[in-house]
Amino acid sequence: MLTLRQIEVIRAVMVAGSIAGAARLLNVAQPGISRTMKHLEDQLGIKLFLRKGGRYVPSPEAVNIFEQIHEVHKKIEDLQFTIGQLERGRGVELSFGSVPSIANVMVPRAVAEIKRRYPDIRLDIDILKIEDAVDYVMLGRGEFVVMSYRFDHPSILFEPLAKGHLVCIVAPDHPFASRPFVTAREIAACPLIGIDPADPYGGIMAGIFARDALAYEIAIRARFGSTVVALVKQKLGTAVIDVFTVADADRRDIAVVPIAEETEFQTYIARRSDVALSSFAESLVAALRRIMMEAVARA
């Protein structure tokens, strides 16, 4: 059996027409090429090359071997080209979903990182309501969904992504804006802009109010965090929102104030338990996890 290295040496001698030329092509010393050629001829029991006019030319009995070597080398070049394309993400489409709170800021940052690593990869990103996640995963519309909480499902695997927490956001001229933190009681005394208490984040804050027997009345209710932020910018009230949604908020437009009570929550990647993630999906999840953890650390 010829090794790929031996095939490479034979082809280099064919192309260069000399041992010295082959050594230059392969960037190795001439004695190494000479030893390889002698070993090959001894192993095969035939003369591979003849010297004519100062050049090495294929011997008559080795013509068929050289034709096969040329075909093998062409296939290796094709394989290397395909691998190179794959390394750039050429011909790959990665589909995944995300709940809006993480899709607004965190997902674009992770996608930018993946595009730098795989410039030619195509991505299909769906912004999903929590209740749509099961169908999305189970019907194979995408590889995974970024979730803000988990639930029990026999065919869906939840992998921890990053922990986050809630913050209070107000207009820059609000009395809370200069505070090191605010309490749930203080927040409850203000006109509230909020997400439905049935939402995972809304449920965390509703739970805090309930423990302290505080009224949880939302004057303006919005479905998505980006809408809540826009309403606060208009000075229509105070809001409680996740740290990921406001990670790149302009502090000239809103003030982000820590909440005294514990508001930590865990985020997840939801995927089918019987299907492994592709290497591209794993790379994106790893980037997203690191970016989310960095955002929490900065906050």
pLDDT value at residue 86? 60
Q: Which residues of the chain have pLDDT under 70?
A: 1, 53, 77-78, 80-91
pLDDT value at residue 290? 96
pLDDT value at residue 85? 57
The amino acid at 263: T
pLDDT value at residue 59? 77
pLDDT value at residue 73? 72
CA angle 185, 190, 193 (to 5 degrees): 110
Which has the closest alpha carbon to 96: 271, 267, 268, 289? 271
pLDDT value at residue 56? 76
pLDDT value at residue 96? 95
Cα gap 61→47, rounded to integer Å? 8
pLDDT value at residue 163? 94
pLDDT value at residue 144? 95
pLDDT value at residue 206? 76
